[in-house]
Amino acid sequence: MLKPPPDRRIMGVTILDTEMGREHEEDRNAFLDIHAELNNGNKVNIEIQVTNEHNMTKRTLYYWSRTYMEGFQKGDPFDKLPRTISIAIIDYILYKKEALHRYHLTFDLMEREESILWDDTMEIHLVEMPKLVRMWRQKRIGFGDDEVIEWLLLLEADEDEGLRKELRGRAMDNPILHEAMEKWEDLSRDPNAIREYEARHKALMDRLAAEAESERRQKMKYEEGLREGLKEGEHQKTVEIVRNMLAMGMEIEAIVQVTGLTIEQVQKHRHDRIG
């Protein structure tokens, strides 16, 4: 995914932490957090998130900044600050209109008009899985287009038997992918892992159902308030018309015929006006 130039080839990765940054309420919906260091000194944050908390951009910048400043002390030279890369793999669409034909977006610190790079210290990758899956199913992209596609689609393979078969075929010529699939299938047979997965999946489904119910209730409340507001507005308009008619000296019977109100209602408005 990073596609570094030849002089920056990644020869090794050290996993520093798989739980970095889970300090906020929203973090419970992150499927995986990995904090890693490449052999060239670059730091990398990887997050897989399955639900939209509507804070992904701010959240990514926050954890990027934490990684960037990690270990930096007062008095240290600025060139000690590492190039820091954030990779967010999300199971929803964040950018609906922009770049609909691209599932992988890369963000840098660039000058707006001339696209001049300020510094390569910041690099943010966003992968929107629904776009990738849609493009793959529509055969707009294939495994041969980019090596990273098969690895990303591996995340979707647990719920798609056809995709699993295709990936197994690809794995015959890719020892690393083959090993990954073997470990993944071993894990899927582990009773403890299955229970943990099912518990997390149930918690997620329960939460999504609760959010949907809350949204439904809020919508009903809004629509009810709107109806009441319209009803109140119509009532006030009728009152104003009746008072204007009374001010013009129209007979009560004529007002009843025009407005559809009862004699008692018109008389009440006349008394209110006089009072």
For residues 236 and 230, give the distance between their C-alpha atoms in angstroms, rounded to a whole number: 10
Q: What's the Rg (C-alpha) of the chain? A: 31
Distances (CA, A) of 246 to 65, 130, 241, 254: 70, 64, 9, 10
For residues 217 and 136, give the distance between their C-alpha atoms in angstroms, rounded to a whole number: 37
Cite the DSSP H helix spans in the chain: 56-69, 129-137, 147-153, 161-171, 175-188, 191-247, 252-259, 263-274
Distances (CA, A) of 94 to 62, 91, 131, 202, 222: 18, 9, 10, 24, 26
Mapped onto helix, strand or coil, the DSSP state of residue 34 is: strand
> Which residue matches tokens 């518990």?
199
Quote the pLDDT of residue 263. 86
For residues 62 and 22, give the distance between their C-alpha atoms in angstroms, rounded to a whole number: 12
Q: Which of 141, 174, 171 is nearest to 157 (CA)?
A: 171
DSSP 156: G
Report residue 93 as tokens.
């669409």
Contact 47, 88 (CB under 8 A): yes
Tens of pLDDT along the chain (275 residues) come to: 777 666 666 666 666 655 544 555 555 554 567 888 887 888 998 888 887 878 889 989 998 999 999 888 999 999 999 999 999 999 889 888 765 678 999 999 999 999 999 999 999 999 999 999 988 888 888 888 888 888 888 888 877 788 888 888 888 888 888 888 888 777 767 677 667 666 666 666 666 677 777 777 877 776 676 666 667 777 788 878 888 888 888 888 888 888 788 888 888 877 776 55
Quote the pLDDT of residue 33. 77
For residues 23 and 275, give the distance between their C-alpha atoms in angstroms, rounded to a whole number: 64
Strand partners of residue 106: 125
Mapped onto helix, strand or coil, the DSSP state of residue 30 is: strand
Quote the pLDDT of residue 249. 83
Side chain identity, residue 246: L
Contact 54, 114 (CB under 8 A): no
For residues 255 and 65, give the distance between their C-alpha atoms in angstroms, rounded to a whole number: 71
For residues 113 and 91, give the distance between their C-alpha atoms in angstroms, rounded to a whole number: 32
Vertex 138: Cα angle to 134 and 140 (nearest 5): 95
Contact 18, 27 (CB under 8 A): no
DSSP 15: E
Contact 79, 85 (CB under 8 A): no
For residues 183 and 77, give the distance between their C-alpha atoms in angstroms, rounded to a whole number: 43
